[in-house]
Structure 1
Amino acid sequence: MSTTNRQNLFALQQLAANDADEFPGVHTEASILDGTAEAQTSHAGGEHGGETLEDIIELTERARLGLIPSAPWTPSFVFTIDTLELYRVSHARCPQFSIYAFTKTLADLHGVPPRSTMHQHFSIAFDLYLDLRRRTEAQVLHHLGRDTPAWRMKNCCPACTYKLEGEDQLIFSMLVTMDGNDSLKRVLRRGPDDDGPGESNERYDDRDASDGYYLSREEVDAWARRRVGEDNPCKERWKNMVNDVTSKMWGIFDETGIFLCLCRHGFALVLVDMLKSGELSKYPLAVVEHLLKHFGVDLGVGYDIGCHFCTTLNNSELGPEAREAHLRCLVGAFHGHAHNRLCQVCFLALYVEGLGIEDLEGCERRFSRSNALAGSCRRASRFHRQQEITAYFKHMDDFDVYANLATFLCSNYEQCLKILDDEPIVWRLMCEQDVLDGSEFVQALADEREYLTELYKSSKKTVETPETRYAALRRAQSDDAAFTPGKSKAEIALRHATEKKERTAVAVAEIERELSIVTRWSRDNPRYVAAEKQARFLEYQRALDRLELLVVERLFELTKMNQSGTGYKMRKHVAKSLQARSKAVRSAVARYNAAAAAVTPPRESVDIEKVLEYAFLADFDLLRHSHHGVEGQYWARPAYRAIMNRWFRLERAREEITRLDIEIPRFVTWMRDEGVFLRKHEGALRRTEGKTEEEVERDYELALHVEEYRMRRGRFDQSHMMRLGALKRKWGLRFTASLTPGVPLLHVAMDAGMEMDVDERAPRAGEQGDLSMQEDEGKASEDEDNSDIEGDDAHDERVSEMLFKLTGLGIDAEERGESIAD
């Protein structure tokens, strides 16, 4: 390093110990720590002497100023770690807060004109700071034995993954939700080209900022082969079910969004980049393969098009493995109400046994917040976009999802108990409807599913049934005599009729063979008459369905046009749509009237002028006549359906309490084991016996990081324990979850890196006593290992023990010999 640079950095070090008034005109340490000062290492024009980035970092560490430079040689700016950390946390909480705005803010606070390149220098230093954080975290995880590729995903949620001995078997061992979002697009940088946008001119950058969140592109592209699923009743309602739509995307984008998978508590499990396409099936298939590999059997996977994806999954190479693992595709409560009713009775969350009150819509809630990253991702490089997304989700997992985990569990518990308060009312209503028990509702749902399945199958059949196909043949035979030979048009018509007759004859023969029809039906045959009547009724139903669809869409568009807040351009667009739809409604009314007159008995015709005057959905009363026999079904009665839904809600509340009674002890056990595990490793890092001077210095720095992480988690855990204890005191005997830590399964503890602590600090449930006393015993055995820990750490331990006692954590009512209410 050059002499000039050494002198300038030495001056910075001296400023840290002296008052600013003694050095007029020179930047103080305070201004440097605020990030607004220029380090005079290159501004004075000093020559660099081949110093490296490591040289500068080492020098700043020795200077104890915590400075991060913006260049490896002769940097114009240096920024303190405090400044960079402030921006990292602020940006994670408010993604719209850009680097440009932050550097301008620093300049405004100090009343100095901002340099035009200051945000660029800050961006370089910020990248270096994040890289140092990743490297440091990797060293800590390596020491803790938690650096395997899938460790983060398999242990991010203690309530889902930290399984204990003696637990009841759940229908779904784990509930996850996944969905795609196209807000976080990234524009691909291209060079100029006369014939088009040109080839990509992005600089190659192989840096990885995934931090264990992302699946690689190779893993996703392995499922890129196109798979055609069976027809689905919801296909016309969802654009991400249509391959022709999802396989295309504007050419200016490279990454076109993200595909996200969360556990039911909100922890991010897997992230996938959607590349130059919409929401293709390869993304959920790659995610499901990853889930099956690491989480095993009995998974419940929520997806907004879960009904369609279920077929895709079964038809893929992953189908046999998914069926063997009893994986089940589900539809979230929010999206489910836009699905076909047949899909709802099969996949909707309310009717799925074992799902509890989980709505499987966590991705939508997360996207509503992560969409704020769009501004910082749209023009970023591939590395910086991935770094932005990963840093955001990592911060949310640590400071939002984990910090509110006890709140999530307690809120769900209270919600279920309040739902169960309505049970007497539901039973009274059931008696009024002559319903003896809930099994009748289960049978009603099965009957509705069977009815809708048959109806869907019949609607997909062509109107030309075997009987009507035979009638077409008879008409073709009678029409042949009407043509006059010798005329060209008549000869063409005759040839076409003859060919049609021959094809129809072959079809009739095939149908007669399949139906074992010995004697060909005549027009007066009762079976012929019944088949013709059925064909006409099917045509009438199709015309009615089409008319209802157009009228309902028209009513919704009228509502949108008259809605407050609709702009002028939107009103014009809706008005044009209404004008075009009016023509379609007229054609649909004409078709309906013709079909209504043909059925037996004839149905009432519809006046087109009256239909166009409808302003409310209630005015259009043809809906109840859509399908013959629906209004007569017992499960179609409004009062019956309302009670049935309330009964299913009670069932889901009971299932949720059963799941929470398992998840809460998992969480309590994990908090205890994690604290013990981190304290042991911290004590081991602080020991100096048998270590060289370099190893002592390195381990001491790692111990500081472990201590900081443990103390932060400890503060969250204290809040969790107080929340759980308050819930137990509030609901008394109705709160059936045990707050006594249990014994984790051996393989689960090993996956979490706690294999050394299971036997020592995790007694069996029958042997569990007062947790505070056991904490004292365990702590006494660790005093020698933790002798170097500061006194405030011991104080925090005592506070933690007091909180355990106050909340009753680890002391069941039976063991105390007193009632919880008392």
Structure 2
Amino acid sequence: MPCAPWKPSVAIATRVLELYQTTHIRCPQLAIQSFVKSLCDLHGVPYRPYLRQQFSTAYDIYLEIHRQTDCLVNSALGRNTPNWRLKHTCPACMYRLEGEDELIFSMLFNMDGNDSLKRVLKRLKTDGSEEKPTAGPSIEQDDSRDGGEDYFLRRERVDRWGDPSNPCSGRWKNMINDVTSKMWGIFDETGIFLALCRHGFALVVADMVRSGELSKYPLAVVEVLLDTFGLKLGGCYDIGCHFESTLKNSELGDKARTNRFKSLVGSFHGHAHNRLCQLSFLTTYVEGLGLEDLEGCEWYFSRSNALAKSVRYASKFHRRQEITTFMKQIDDLEVYANLSKFLCDNYRQALKILQTEPALKHRMQEEGFEDYDTFHVWLEEEKEYLLGLDAGLPKRRELTLEMEYLQKLVNLEGSQKCVTAIRAAERAAQADGADYSPAPISNVARRHAIEQRNRDIELVEDLEQKLGVETRWTSNSPQWTATDAALKKHKYLDALDEIEQIILARLFEMTKVHQSGTSYKMRSHIAKALQARSKAIRNAIDRYNKVTLSMEPPMPTLDWDQVVNYGFLGDFDLLRDTTDSISSRPWTRRSYRLAMDSYFKILRAREEIQCLNIEIKCIVTWIDNEDRFLRKKEEELKETDPLLAVQVTQYRQQRGRSDLYHMHRF
């Protein structure tokens, strides 16, 4: 492969370029420079920087030949229509059979942003004054080549959904302004926003340009997928709860509603959301999701992050070419090759979960109920209760007139003491014998104290008239004692309501941490999310403890260590003291919640098997039909274009080399 268009003096063997492409995909950290240095070592020559540029030029030509050959093959196969790749990427998701059962979701996908594949914008070093230097203008050369093929969304299509405000910007670290603002001055592309089907095939990708993970990126992705696939899509996003609101309020809202689009939250990130959000969006409780965790982007990014070294200082074209080549090869060599393993592993997992159903029934009998519908009732009760907490319920208790009267008497007592203290200080100053001339500040303080006392007297007299009190209460009055006890209890119950509201939802989130089978990484992720919201919990605990000390007898106090170590609602003995206590409700008990989780896992396992029975049939049929179709095209092209027929044969062999393993696994 020549390294220059005219009179080349250096050429790179095609097999060497093919070796680099294959090795680079398997080990993305291996950049061109390292590979060229290895070649120099093998040939016993010193490395020169221009050798890297020559190899890069030859590699670009090599990849361009591959692209043009693929275009010819796709044209010969009738696969050159717009969005053909997107519509046929995954045979399990997109291949349809006559008479197959209809599922709740026609396709599931997950999307997420990642800032590892940033690209530095080449600029002059400095601009502006010496006191305030700024980044200079761009010095990048114009390049008409794209490199993204049909994987990347056009920037114009993404920008039309741009919105300067984002309600979720404070929740995720890659969206915080103080992070992204620093990147905008250095990087042009600050990452990628990727969408995968549930089996891991890349659908579309968008460049995040001088910004964090803004709402315009998922909106643009959803628009493309709705236009391409239509009805009953389920899309998972880290902040799918907020994204649902964003989607409804956007111009895309009507189309999403018409096509019954459902916003979801993956099982990994979902357990760091509050409990009310989990009940609506978490994969465990959404009908039709099966056992899918919708966290494929995390696996994908763990692989693609290794490309960072190759793309950080690349041109815009070379960055996109690197990412696109990586995605194509991963789809063919990793995702498709492991497709049958993915489905069979899910099938085994679902069968294993279904084997726990007898144990669940036995546990239900021991607890005194046998109807599965009870779990759905409990879930709705929990949701209604948390909605009530979110709206400020249980309803705040109103002060009685007697309690209000007592509070005003206490206020009057305090203001009267203040006036008395000021006058006593004045008399003491006059008694010293010196000429007494009160300062203006003292006059103001005395006047304010007297005005406050007079206001308190008016309020007390008004309540005495309403209550018909003939003799003003004193601290020795039996009415004072009884009402004081009631007022303290009122404040205590209010403090309990507040701490219950804040801690209860967090406690349900923490139950995932204490469940068996939860990985260390998941535990750490949930704990970190809870810690970020711990200030409100600490403040609620402090206010509660202050009230408990005034009770007679004093109620048990709480500390932070107790709260973080509680695993279930039953551990909060203090909640049993509230008049609106929920501890008596069955769904708050540890054993009942474990049974409820087991039940919904069994439900999802049944859905998974139903889905897998359809997907496996689709793949088996697709493998057979695809092989027949390609062999037929080969025979036709042998007569008209033998060279193209060879390329079709290689295309069939590349896609079909895993088919035997698929059939064996099934």
TM-score clears 0.5? yes
What is the SS of the residue equivalent to 1:383? helix
Which residue does 1:624 correspond to in 2?
572
Q: Does the C-alpha gap of structure 1 residues 600 and 439 become closer, same or farther in structure 2, counting only changes over 3 Å?
A: farther
What is the SS of the residue equivalent to 1:117? helix
Structure 1 residue 184 corresponds to structure 2 residue 132 = no
Which residue does 2:650 correspond to in 1?
708
Q: CA deviation at 1:126?
A: 0.5
| 1:633 partner amino acid | R
- Gaps (5+ residues) in structure 1? 1-67, 505-518, 552-577, 689-698, 725-822
Picking from 84, 96, 111, the partner of 1:151 is 84
Which residue does 1:333 correspond to in 2?
267
- For residues 118 and 156 of structure 2, the distance between their equivalents in structure 1, rounded to whole angstroms, comes to 20
Q: CA deviation at 1:356?
A: 0.4
Query: In the alignment, is the contact (CA less than 8 A) between 2:236 and 2:294 conserved in 1?
Result: yes
What is the SS of the residue equivalent to 1:375? helix
Q: CA deviation at 1:110?
A: 2.9
Superposed CA deviations along residues 536-569 of structure 1, whole A, max 9, x for unmatched, are 5344554688899999xxxxxxxxxxxxxxxxxx
Superposed CA deviations along residues 667-686 of structure 1, whole A, max 9, x for unmatched, are 11211221222222222222
Query: In the alignment, is the contact (CA less than 8 A) between 1:420 and 1:650 conserved in 2?
Result: yes
Which residue does 1:670 correspond to in 2?
622
What is the SS of the residue equivalent to 1:186? coil
Query: In the alignment, is the contact (CA less than 8 A) between 1:191 and 1:198 conserved in 2?
Result: yes
Which residue does 1:123 correspond to in 2?
56
Superposed CA deviations along residues 148-170 of structure 1, whole A, max 9, x for unmatched, are 23111111001101111111111
Q: CA deviation at 1:270?
A: 1.0
Residue-pair matches, total: 594
Which residue does 1:404 correspond to in 2?
338
Which residue does 2:590 correspond to in 1?
638
Which residue does 1:650 correspond to in 2?
602
Structure 1 residue 322 corresponds to structure 2 residue 278 = no
Q: CA deviation at 1:244?
A: 7.8
- For residues 332 and 155 of structure 2, the distance between their equivalents in structure 1, rounded to whole angstroms, comes to 26
Q: CA deviation at 1:447?
A: 0.9
Which residue does 2:365 correspond to in 1?
431
Q: Does the C-alpha gap of structure 1 residues 667 and 586 become closer, same or farther in structure 2, counting only changes over 3 Å?
A: closer
- For residues 374 and 430 of structure 1, the distance between their equivalents in structure 2, rounded to whole angstroms, comes to 52
| Paired residues for 1:346-745 under 5 Å | 346-458=280-392, 487-489=443-445, 537-542=493-498, 591-597=543-549, 603-605=555-557, 617=565, 624-625=572-573, 627=575, 628=578, 629-688=581-640, 699-724=641-666
Same amino acid, percent of matched pairs: 49
Query: In the alignment, is the contact (CA less than 8 A) between 2:311 and 2:319 conserved in 1?
Result: yes
| 1:150 partner amino acid | N
Q: CA deviation at 1:113?
A: 3.1
- Gaps (5+ residues) in structure 2? 128-132, 423-439, 460-465, 474-478, 508-530
| Paired residues for 1:89-238 under 5 Å | 89-194=22-127, 195-226=133-164, 238=172
What is the SS of the residue equivalent to 2:345? helix
Superposed CA deviations along residues 248-299 of structure 1, whole A, max 9, x for unmatched, are 7452111111111100000000101111111111111111111111111111
Q: Does the C-alpha gap of structure 1 residues 459 and 109 become closer, same or farther in structure 2, counting only changes over 3 Å?
A: farther
Q: Does the C-alpha gap of structure 1 residues 543 and 141 become closer, same or farther in structure 2, counting only changes over 3 Å?
A: same
- For residues 498 and 610 of structure 2, the distance between their equivalents in structure 1, rounded to whole angstroms, comes to 46
TM-score normalised according to structure 1 size? 0.65
- For residues 154 and 619 of structure 1, the distance between their equivalents in structure 2, rounded to whole angstroms, comes to 46
What is the SS of the residue equivalent to 1:632? coil
- For residues 586 and 201 of structure 1, the distance between their equivalents in structure 2, rounded to whole angstroms, comes to 52
Greater relative contact order, per chain length (Cα 8 Å cut-off, separation 6+): 2
Aligned-pair Cα RMSD in Å = 4.3
Q: CA deviation at 1:309?
A: 1.2
Q: CA deviation at 1:663?
A: 0.9
**Which range moves more in the overlay, 340-349 or 582-591?**
582-591
| 1:72 partner amino acid | P
Superposed CA deviations along residues 420-464 of structure 1, whole A, max 9, x for unmatched, are 222222221221122212111111111111111111221799x89
| 1:178 partner amino acid | M
**Which range moves more in the overlay, 532-541 or 118-127?**
532-541
| 1:330 partner amino acid | L
Q: CA deviation at 1:532?
A: 9.1
Q: CA deviation at 1:240?
A: 5.9
- For residues 426 and 637 of structure 1, the distance between their equivalents in structure 2, rounded to whole angstroms, comes to 16
| 2:34 partner amino acid | A
Which residue does 2:192 correspond to in 1?
258
Which residue does 2:10 correspond to in 1?
77
- For residues 499 and 221 of structure 1, the distance between their equivalents in structure 2, rounded to whole angstroms, comes to 60
What is the SS of the residue equivalent to 2:60? helix
| 1:140 partner amino acid | V
TM-score normalised according to structure 2 size? 0.79
- For residues 200 and 263 of structure 2, the distance between their equivalents in structure 1, rounded to whole angstroms, comes to 18
- For residues 318 and 454 of structure 2, the distance between their equivalents in structure 1, rounded to whole angstroms, comes to 70
- For residues 416 and 549 of structure 1, the distance between their equivalents in structure 2, rounded to whole angstroms, comes to 29
| 1:251 partner amino acid | G
- For residues 466 and 637 of structure 1, the distance between their equivalents in structure 2, rounded to whole angstroms, comes to 33
